[in-house]
Every structure is written in structure tokens, then in C-alpha cells.
Structure 1
């Protein structure tokens, strides 16, 4: 069966999903996205994802054309239409079409696209580098929302690939750790798990929030010395929790993050 996507109120085959050439998400990266986890046919943490999306929309002055309950219904409908009960969903919201130039239209009509995907096949562990080609701006409000422009993360991942690794850790402008390209960084120091605060440029991740609420992880600034002396490192997002087994080519303890699993 062909993949079906939800586009502006309709479920249609993905190959037939057309977005105008003047859509500002395409021309300017003017939009937001959320990636959500699908487990047992249920989309997890929709209220938390909606809250982050709404915060981003408020920052961008982008009107959301749905509320949390409607977002849940759209996501669930898309998963069911693709006969998926496990995997993930990607929700993309752009400001829609607009004239040339930077200023958006006064009455935008957002484009909403939802796609569903099966659980990705990934290695259980990753090697990582500390990216040198780009830094995360912890002072920018955009560091706390999921905007469509992911070029800094892409550049860091390309650097990782060129250096024989699968992931890159991003430093902020102060030289401390902000996070990884695809999620939050978790660092174990002795018996304590730590993660950088959002004031350091860390994305307010959904699983990160659950881990902090559980008391199993605490916030603290993380410098490069702490990275290299860590008992264990892990990359966290809503889909995976992956230990880092090497940093800049140096082996790290392959300690499983089982104590954090299930959150």
C-alpha cells in the first residue's frame, strides 16, 4: 500500500502531495516541526508536543490552525491510515504561501503536513565527535523550538561522517555542551545522570522533560572536560536512547542506559 500523508485536511498518497513553490517553509524555512513516538497505536505525549509547538508558533507569530485534541486526532488518523501501530509521526507546519521578501503575509494560511513511518532501523550504540564546524547560539530563542532550518545540525552530522562517526555533539558559544544533532545529551558522572539546561542551548526535549521529572536526571552545565571524563554518555529523543561508545575516536564505557529506559 502506498504511503498516505495528511495534508491540509486530507489524507492523500504521498506521491500526490503537492506544496506550492511559494510556500515559505520551502523558500525560507519558515515553519516548525515535531517528531512523535507511536506505541501500541497511541501517539505519546501529544500535550507536551503541542505545548512546544505552540511556544514556537507564538515566537514566530505563526497561527496554529488546530488545538491539542485536533492535533492528536490528525496524528492518530494518519497512523491508522498507514496501518501503523509502532513507529513515529512527523508533523510539519509552515506559514504557507507568501510574496517574495522576508515579511510574511498579514493573514497567513499555514500548511500542515503529517507523515507516518515505521520504527527506524538503527545501531544500538553510536560513535560521536565534538563538532568544530558550527556552534549553537544559546542566546537565540530559536534554540528552544524545532524550526525547519536544521542546517547547523546537518553541517555537524556531515562533519561526523567525514570523521568516521555517526553523531556529533554541539557546543554553545561559551564552549560548553548544548546537545546532539538529533536529541539531548545525557552524561553520567559517577552515579548521577546530567543534561545541559535549556539556557545552555539545549532543546527542551520531550523525553528529557520526563527524565527530569522522574528525578533520574538533573540539569547542570557540561564542559568538555566533563564530557571526556564521563562514566557514560547517551543521546536521547522520543524515538531512541542510544549510548555513545566513542568520543573523538576515544573509547567510552559501553554502559547501557537501562535505568533510563521506559521514560
Structure 2
């Protein structure tokens, strides 16, 4: 049991990763561990024990039975640290993993533009930190509006991401996605999609685009490690048509 003075519990001081397991095999785990290790460096936490992390994730799969598709969450906290904001001089992080069935999403996504803004100036906007309340509130707002996901803009009004996914859109044969400087997490599936697009000879442009630019697109899609590539049906009242290119990218990274 996590102690009541754990900094992940009391302050959100820590990181997490969510990895897809297919038939017991962790998909793209190296990229997830790379990102967590980079996050440890940013937060000033000790070096990630990659071997233990992978062992914890693999062990967590024993608790979900024979499900073919499983989400494995790896959590790293800064450990116990006394009262207040300051950590111990030599923190002892806690590392553990949990797993749960993760059915593939059904059909294209409907998106609502959230009133919750992404803070592009915050270092945590580019980390999978345990402080995820803005994303929780954005997803709650989308669910309350009958939608699957939320589009999050940053303080400058630029499209940043979805609550739990990166976002891409198509226009005139090119693919656009928000630049990391917009307050975007460098998603593992985002990187795979960009590589697959380049391999297919399709230009990907990292942009500082606003909602008008997104709504003018011919198609859009979301990406993360669990959903892969999921087409977007509509953003607010703006509808998108199915795209053969989006389906090809989905097949390429499946």
C-alpha cells in the first residue's frame, strides 16, 4: 500500500506511462521507458531502473487473465518526503504497475472543444506527470457534452492536443500536428505516425494552428499508445469525411 506521505499522492510528484499489451507482449515499451527516463531527468529524480520497470509491467499482466488487449500503467512517484514542497536530499522513488483490459475504441471519435486551456509554458505540459487534473476536467467536459474526447487549446488559442491523445489533421495532401512548443506531450504513437507518414512520402508539418485551421481540414485523427490511430468524425459542429490516408496510417502502425 502506498504510504499517506507519498509525494505522488500528496503533490502529484511523479510520472506515469500507459503501455499496450497484446497477447501478453508489451508494445513499444522501449519508447515509453525512454520518455519516463527523460521525465526523471527533468524532475530531478534518480535514474529509472528500466529492468525493474519492465519486470513490474510484465508481472501486472498476471492479474488480468486471458484478455488479448490490456492497458498496463507504470507509475513512478518521488517517494515519501515529509511535509511541504521540498523533497528529501536523496529521494527513494516508488515504482509499480497495474493492468486492466483495454478494448479497442469503437468507430470514429466525436470531439468537443474544451474550455480548459493547456499551459504551454509549464514544463509538465510535455511530461506524463501525475498532475493530470486539467486533462481529467477536459475529458469530463467532453463526456458531459456527449463526446468521446476534448480538443485542448493553449493560452494563445493554438490547438495543442486532446485530453489523452495527440491530434493530427489533413489538408491538401499534407498532415499537420501541433508543435511540441504548443504544450504538447511527445506521444510515442505520434512519433510512430510521423515516421510512417515520412516513409509513405507524406509531409508532416508541426504547426502553431488555431481552431479555424483544424476546422478547415479535410480529415483529422487522434493517436495514442492504446488507440493507435483513431479517425475523428467531428469537432463541435464541423464534420470530417473518412480518409483513405488515415486508414493507411492506422494499418501501418497497428
CA distance in structure 1 between the aligned counterparts of 2:129 and 2:203, rounded to whole angstroms: 26
Shift of 1:217: 6.0
* Structure 1, gaps ≥5 residues long: 1-17
For 1:163 and 1:44, the matched residues in 2 are separated by 33
Query: Which residue of 2 is the match for residue 92 of structure 1?
Result: 75
Residue number in structure 2 paired with 1:249: 237
Choose the corresponding residue for 1:199, options 157, 176, 181. 181
8 Å contact 1:211–1:217 — kept in the other structure? no
Alignment partners' CA distance in 2, 1:217 and 1:260: 13
Q: Which residue of 34, 44, 47 corresponds with 2:17?
A: 34
Residue pair 1:65, 1:110 contacting (<8 A) in 2 also: no
Tell me what 1:15 maps to. none
Query: Which residue in 2 is equivalent to 1:103?
Result: 86
Taking only aligned residues, the RMSD between alpha carbons, in angstroms, comes to 1.9
- 2:249 corresponding residue in structure 1: 260
Secondary structure of the 1:220 match is strand
Any idea what SS the aligned residue of 1:209 has?
Answer: helix
C-alpha separation between the residues in 2 aligned to 1:44 and 1:135? 31
1:249 to partner: Cα distance: 2.8
Displacement of 1:108 after TM fit?
Answer: 1.5
Q: Unpaired segments of 5 or more residues in structure 2?
A: none
Matched residue SS, 2:135: helix
How many residues were matched structurally? 244
Partner of 2:96: 113
Task: Give deviations 1:90-130, integer Å, cap 9, x for gaps.
Answer: 00000111211011111222111201122235332221112
Correspondence for 2:194: 212
Q: How far apart in 2 are the matches of 1:217 and 1:170?
A: 24
